[in-house]
Amino acid sequence: MVSLPHGFPDGAWLPDVVVELGEVFAAAGFELSLVGGPVRDLFLGRTSPDLDFTTDATPDQIIQAAAGWADAHWDIGRAFGTIGLRKGKQTLEVTTYRAEAYDPASRKPEVRFGESLEEDLVRRDFTVNAMALKLPSFELVDPHGGVRDLVAKQLRTPATPQESFSDDPLRMMRAARFASQLGLDVAPEVAQAMSEMASRIEIVSAERIQVELVKLICGDHPRAGIDLMVDTGLADIVLPEVPALKRLDDEHARHKDVYQHSLKVLEQACDLETDDDGPVPAPDFILRFAALMHDVGKPKTRRFEPGGAVSFRHHDVVGAKMTRKRMQALKFDKETIRAVTHLVELHMRFYGYGEQEWTDSAVRRYVTDAGDQLQRLHRLTRSDVTTRNKRKAARLDHAYDDLENRIAELAEKEELAKIRPHLDGEQIMQVLGISPGPLVGRAYKFLLEHRMEHGPVAEEEAVVLLKDWAAEQGL
């Protein structure tokens, strides 16, 4: 580790490889600077996971300069001027100074190499990321007031916001992401440009948008990021189901503000995440996104009942379908889509537990239906209580405590997470003397239903049950 000189926050340090690489490039006659996020994080007291550098060397010259020092290199980003290096366990990326411009109608950047560090910095997304640390001298280059903006907790652009967002519309999503990750407020002119140019996000690929959305949801202040997307109109394009909740107004106050409720559920879900050793380590995208999306089915299912009541029947099922469609459009993987939509579909299952005694069968079904999402479902259900009525909140909390205790007690007796029928398919075929086919599935379903209703039984009793069922079927 290398400690930084006076002028940097106390305790700020960098890995040895940073200084070593600076000396390697200086010896080869090239400039080299640590740039962007790693420099910003020095002033935030954070350790950056990335080490990004910029230089006046061309990609070929980068490879030549690092030869003999780096353990390996790769040039998959050569077209963009980026060469990857590995030194020990450290991965580094070195990019030639760039002066980047985008075709307004294209998703891909038109890359032009620049000639100076200052030219490179002005094309970066925000002032807090437009700082560089010259190596090996540790001279800070901050031409756009990045340190000042960090202190003021403000997000501004080096060039005009219009120029910045025209160059890369994804930067509007990054603004929302930094509001979530770093707790920064966007400057008024940045928010205005986002509102005016929100439609530009349509030319950005779904995959790139997804990456930024995940980082936003997993930030320390996801509510701030979502609010910014909704207020500027960005969410109308990227995540339209969420601003639709805000438009679900009720001038007669017959139901709660669903948008604010959803953000509160999101915040409360974050608070219920665990440490790395727990069942839901923070930050957990699946839990958080399910919390945000759990009520998106309400606008389509709202009904005004006789007498003035409002209902949202089956909003859980409708919301799960809407969530699946949105996540597919954003190119999420199938497993993440399955997990999130499963939670949205099940988030209402608990309600009613406090009003009526659940049988052991009902508890088994709750666990079995939740499957591998049970721990997240516990947290989502608890987070969904945002009522200001303290007695109602306490009653629901007590009821869920009771349900979790019932689950634990049954789990000790029956291994609930591994519920299977009394007999497997091979045993069913042997007992009934049948071959593989639909009848085996029907028998399997009967035995599983019996297990759900009555709990486990001995194999001998299961055989009798199966034969009796077969006789009733006329087999």
**153 Rama sector, left if φ>0, alpha if ψ -120 to 50, beta otherwise:** left
CB proximity list for 32: less than 8 A, separation 6 or greater: 21, 22, 25, 26, 53, 54, 55, 57, 94, 134, 135
Of 202, 193, 198, whose CA–CA distance to 163 is shortest?
193
Three-state secondary structure of 269-282: HHHCCECCCCCCEC
pTM for the model stands at 0.83
Q: Is the peptide bond before 5 cis (omega within 30 degrees of 0)?
A: no
pLDDT at 445: 83
Examine the pLDDT at 126 and tell me if it is beyond 70: yes
pLDDT band with cut points at 50, 70 and 90 for residue 474 = confident
pLDDT, average across residues 299-313: 84
CA angle 244, 245, 248 (to 5 degrees): 90
Stronger pLDDT, 444 or 126, i.e. the higher one: 126
Residue 356 has pLDDT above 70, yes or no: no
pLDDT digits (tens, 9 = 90+) for 73-107: 998 888 889 999 999 999 999 999 987 655 666 55
Quote the distance between the C-alpha of residue 346 and its chain's center: 20
Q: Which two tokens stand for residue 196?
A: 């005016």
Q: Which of 27-36, 308-317, 436-445, 446-455 has the weakest average pLDDT?
A: 446-455
Which helix or strand (DSSP H or E) is residue 2 part of? strand 2-3
Residue 110 — φ and ψ, nearest 5°?
-95, 110
What does the pLDDT read at residue 1?
66
> Does 455 or 5 have the greater pLDDT score?
455
Q: Report the half-sphere exposure of 267 (CA within 13 A, side-chain side).
A: 14
pLDDT band at 431; cut points 50, 70, 90: confident
pLDDT at 404 over 50: yes
Alpha helices in 272-310 (DSSP H): 285-293, 298-301
> pLDDT band at 419, cuts 50/70/90?
low
User: Cα separations (Å) of 97 from 58, 141, 146, 156?
Assistant: 9, 14, 19, 22
Where do the structural domains in the chain lie, given as residue ranges?
2-152, 153-239, 264-315+324-418, 425-472
Alpha carbons 400 and 215: distance in angstroms, whole number? 31
Q: Would residue 68 be called left, alpha or beta, if left means φ above 0 and alpha means ψ between -120 and 50 degrees?
A: left
Residues contacting residue 439 through CB under 8 Å, at least 6 positions apart:
432, 475
The pLDDT value given to residue 252: 45
The top-scoring range by mean pLDDT among 93-102, 367-376, 383-392, 462-471 is 367-376
Q: Is the pLDDT of residue 421 over 80?
A: no
Q: How confident is the model at residue 309 (pLDDT cuts 50, 70, 90)?
A: confident
pLDDT in the model for residue 108: 60
Give the model confidence (pLDDT) of 220-258 as tens digits: 999 999 999 999 999 999 999 999 999 776 554 445 689
Mean pLDDT across the stretch 11-32? 92
Cβ atoms within 10 Å of 239's Cβ, excluding its own = 22
Element (H, E) at 40: helix 37-44
**Domain 153-239 is in which class?**
mainly alpha
Residue 185: in which H helix or E strand, if any? strand 185-186
Token pair 């986002």: residue: 194
pLDDT for residue 125: 94
Q: What is the mean pLDDT of residues 343-366?
A: 84
- Out of 104-113, 212-221, 225-234, 343-352, least confident range: 104-113
Tell me the C-alpha distance between 294 and 297, whole Å.
8
Strands, E assignment, 26-150 = 32-35, 52-55, 72-74, 82-87, 90-96, 101-102, 109-110, 132-134, 139-141
Residue 429 binned pLDDT confidence (cut-offs 50, 70, 90):
confident
Place 325 in a pLDDT band, splitting at 50, 70 and 90: very high
User: 32-78: per-residue pLDDT in tens?
Assistant: 999 999 999 999 888 788 899 999 999 999 999 999 999 999 988 88
Which class does domain 2-152 fall in? alpha beta
Q: Quick one: pLDDT at residue 53?
A: 97
The helix/strand count (H/E) of the chain reads as 23, 15
First to last CA, the chain: 77
- The yes-or-no verdict on residue 412 having pLDDT over 90 is no
Residue 451 has pLDDT above 90, yes or no: no
The pLDDT of residue 470 is: 87
**pLDDT bracket for residue 430 (50, 70, 90):** confident
**How far, in Å, CA of 287 to CA of 280, rounded?**
8
Q: The tokens 């002005």 sit on which residue?
A: 122
- How far apart are the C-alpha atoms of 316 and 174, rounded to whole Å? 31
Residues 58, 61, 62, 68, Cα dihedral to 10°:
180
Average pLDDT, the chain: 89
Q: Which of 68-77, 193-202, 348-357 shows the lowest per-residue confidence on average (mean pLDDT)?
A: 348-357
Classified as helix, coil or strand, 34 is: strand
Q: In the predicted model, is pLDDT for residue 307 greater than 60?
A: yes
* Dist. CA 346–CA 111, nearest whole Å: 48
Q: Is the peptide bond before 136 cis (omega within 30 degrees of 0)?
A: yes
